[in-house]
Amino acid sequence: MDPAALESAAGILEATGTELADGAPGLRTRPDLGVSTDEVATALAALAEAVAAVATEVGSTAESLRTTAADVRATDQAVAASSQQRRAVLAP
């Protein structure tokens, strides 16, 4: 697993989540559609809530990827250090 690839994916997700979060409030409009105005406004409000929820989840996923990247780096470093110690012990 490549930590840099995880970081890159996290960055893409974070940017996407931010765009979604920034756009969600704009969906809360009340277009003048005559007798359908209330129904459309209600649907748009529900859509805004759903988009905001997706944005939150996308942000959480980005955070999880960053945590995973850090864990992979730490594991790689620990394995490398352990290998060096073994070589030192086994060296003549």
Per the CB < 8 A criterion, the answer to whether 41 and 30 are in contact is: yes
More confident residue, 92 or 13: 13
Cα–Cα distance between 42 and 48 in angstroms, integer?
Answer: 10
Give the CATH number of the domain where residue 7 resides.
1.10.287
For residue 27, give its domain range.
3-90
Cα–Cα distance between 57 and 51 in angstroms, integer?
Answer: 10
Q: How many domains does the chain have?
A: 1
pTM comes to: 0.80
- Percent pLDDT > 70 in the chain is 99
Q: Which helix (H) or strand (E) holds 47?
A: helix 37-90
Residue 91 in this model has a pLDDT that exceeds 80:
no
What are the tens digits of pLDDT across the range 44-89? 999 999 999 999 999 999 999 999 999 999 999 999 999 888 888 8
